Amino acid sequence: MAARPTGIVVSNVLAAVGAMTAARAAGLRVPHDLSIVAVHDVFFAAHLSPPLTVVRMPLRERGRRSVAAVLGQLASGPARHEVIRRPPPELLVRGSTAPPPG
């Protein structure tokens, strides 16, 4: 029998809710048997059972900086490549994750 994963990362909180439901249906306990992490954060993620660990992506601020960079390039002439790295993603550890088994 193949070893099952001890954790998964899903693309958003709704996918995490589905993963939690599927885990429970399979008889797995979150986070004891399976850790779940979602990318992005929404207000109710902290209120799930267990509270969901997320990677918070500061999309609004990154979008604001990206638009400012484009407008600056349009105003100053030739476009240049610019990577928006700030603010960085933030891991918010909550109750849906646990260290891997022994």
pLDDT at position 82 is: 64
Is the pLDDT assigned to residue 2 strictly greater than 90?
Answer: no
Chain-centre distance of CA 14, in angstroms?
Answer: 11
pLDDT, one tens digit per residue, over 46-60 is 999 999 999 998 878
Q: Which residues make Cβ contacts (< 8 Å) with residue 37, sequence separation at least 6?
A: 7, 8, 9, 10, 16, 52, 53, 54, 55, 96, 97
d(C-alpha 99, C-alpha 71), whole Å: 45
pLDDT at position 81 is: 66
pTM of full prediction above 0.85: no
What value does the mean pLDDT of the chain take?
88
pLDDT, one tens digit per residue, over 53-97 is 999 988 787 778 778 877 887 888 766 666 666 778 899 999 999
pLDDT at position 12 is: 94
pLDDT at position 20 is: 97
Bridge partners, 53 (sequence order)? 37
